[in-house]
A and B are shown apart, each in its own frame.
Chain A
Amino acid sequence: MDMREDLYREFEAIVGPRNISRDKSVLETYRCMASQNSAHYGPYKVRTPFPMAVLLPGSSEEVQKIIRLCNREGIHFKASSTFWSAQGYVSADNAVQLDLRRMDGVEIDAENGIAIIEPYAIAGVIQAEAMKYGYTCNIQGVGGSSSTVASTAGWQGPGPSSLFTGTNYDNLLACEWVLPNGEILRTGSLGSGDGWFCGEGPGPSLRAILRGGVGTAGDMGVCTKMAVKLAPWPGPDHLASRGKAPAYKADLPDNFRCYTLCFPDWEHWAHGVQLLHENRITYTSHRQFNMFGCDIKGAMVKILSDENKQLCDLPELLEDPEVKAATQDMHCDMQIVLAGMSEADLAYKEAALDEILRISGGHRSQFMAEKEIEDWALLYFIRMGRKNLNYVLCGSYEGHFGLARTNYYLAASLVEEASALKKHWEETTPYLAKVGGNSSMGGLAGIGGGGGVSWEFFAHFDSFDDASVKGVAEYFGETNKWMGAKGLGGCMGKVNEGSRRPDGYDRSQEELNKMFQYAPQPGVFTYQWKVREAFNPNHLTGTYYKTLEPSAVRTDVEGAASIFI
Chain B
Amino acid sequence: MTAEEDLRLYAGARAFDASPLPSAAVFPANGEEVQKLVLWAKEAGVPLVPVSSAAPHRSPASAPSVPGAVIVDLSRMKKIHSINRRFCMAVIEPGVTYGELRPALAKEGLTINLPVAPRPGKSVIADLLEVTPRRNCLLNWNYIDPLRCTEVTWGDGQKMFTGEAGGGAPDLKKQQSQGKWQINGGGPMMLDFCRILAGSQGTTGIVTWASVKCEPIETVKKVFVLRSQDYDPVRRAVQNALKLRFSDGAFLVNGAALYRMLPDTAQLLAEADGGAAWTAVIEASGREILPEMRVAQQEEDLRGIAAAQGLVLTELTGALGETAGRELDGSGFAEGYAAGAVRLPFVTTLGKAGEFAEKLQATANQKDCGFGLGLYIQPLHQGVSAQVEVLVPELPEGESFYRTALAQIAADGGYYERPYGDAAKIQFGKDPEAARTLEKLYDIFDPARILNPGKLTKAAAAAGQGEEVQP
Contact = CB atoms under 8 A, between A and B. Distances in A.
Interface of A: 111-114, 134, 166-167, 169-171, 173, 183-189, 191-195, 197-209, 211-217, 219-220, 229, 231-232, 234, 274-275, 277-279, 341-342, 344-345, 347-348, 351-352, 355-356, 405-407, 409-410, 446-449, 451-452, 487, 489, 520-521, 523-525, 527-528, 530-531, 534-535, 545-546, 559, 563, 565
B161 interface: yes
Given A113-B243, A204-B196, 8 more contacts: A191-B431, A200-B195, A206-B438, A279-B287, A520-B169, A531-B191, A534-B440, A535-B440
B383 interface: yes
B290 A348 contact: yes
A202 B163 CA distance: 21
Nearest to A544: B190
Contacts, number: 313
A559 B382 CA distance: 41
Contacts of A489: 167
Nearest to A527: B191
A333 B418 CA distance: 45
Contacts of A173: 381, 384
B278 to A, nearest CB: 19
B415 to A, nearest CB: 4
A292 to B, nearest CB: 29
Interface in B116-144: 131, 139, 141-144
B83 interface: no
28 contacts: A111-B239, A112-B349, A112-B350, A173-B384, A186-B431, A194-B413, A195-B349, A195-B415, A197-B384, A202-B419, A202-B434, A203-B438, A204-B196, A204-B438, A206-B438, A208-B194, A208-B195, A229-B382, A274-B86, A341-B246, A344-B296, A352-B290, A356-B289, A407-B179, A449-B213, A521-B166, A534-B441, A559-B169
Contacts of A277: 88
A278 B384 contact: no
Contact of B418 (A169, A183, A201): A201
A271 to B, nearest CB: 9
B283 interface: no
Interface stretch (B73-81, B181-189, B319-327, B366-374): B181-189
A455 to B, nearest CB: 14
A143 to B, nearest CB: 22
A524 B189 contact: yes
Nearest to B444: A530
Contact of B300 (A201, A232, A344, A407): A344
B376 interface: no
A521 B20 CA distance: 38
A199 B415 CA distance: 11
B430 interface: yes
A195 B419 CA distance: 17
User: Considering residues A199, A405, A449, which has the most beta carbons from chain B within 10 angstroms of its beta carbon?
Assistant: A449
Interface in B291-339: 293-294, 296-297, 300-301, 304
A64 B160 CA distance: 35
A451 B384 CA distance: 23
B199 interface: yes
Interface string B376-417: 000011111100000000000000000000000010011111
B167 A546 contact: no
Interface stretch (B11-19, B21-29, B200-208, B222-230): B200-208
Contact of A192 (B195, B246, B418, B427): B427
B471 interface: no
Contact of A204 (B164, B180, B195): B195
Given A203-B424, A229-B382, A355-B290, A134 B192 contact: no
A487 B178 contact: yes
The residue in A185, A186, A202, A229 that gathers the most chain B C-beta atoms within 10 A of its C-beta is: A202
B43 interface: no
B243 to A, nearest CB: 6
Contacts of A189: 347, 385, 415, 417
B145 A203 contact: no
Nearest to B159: A523
B433 interface: yes
A356 B288 CA distance: 10
B170 interface: yes
Nearest to A353: B289
Which among A215, A355, A447, A534 has the greatest number of chain B C-beta atoms within 10 A? Answer: A447
Contact of A528 (B190, B199, B244, B385): B190
A232 B86 CA distance: 29
B184 to A, nearest CB: 5
B440 A546 contact: no
A114 B290 contact: no
A140 to B, nearest CB: 15
Contacts of B45: none
A527 B446 CA distance: 12
Contacts of A531: 191, 444
Contacts of A114: 384
B297 A405 contact: no
B384 A348 contact: no
A13 B167 CA distance: 46
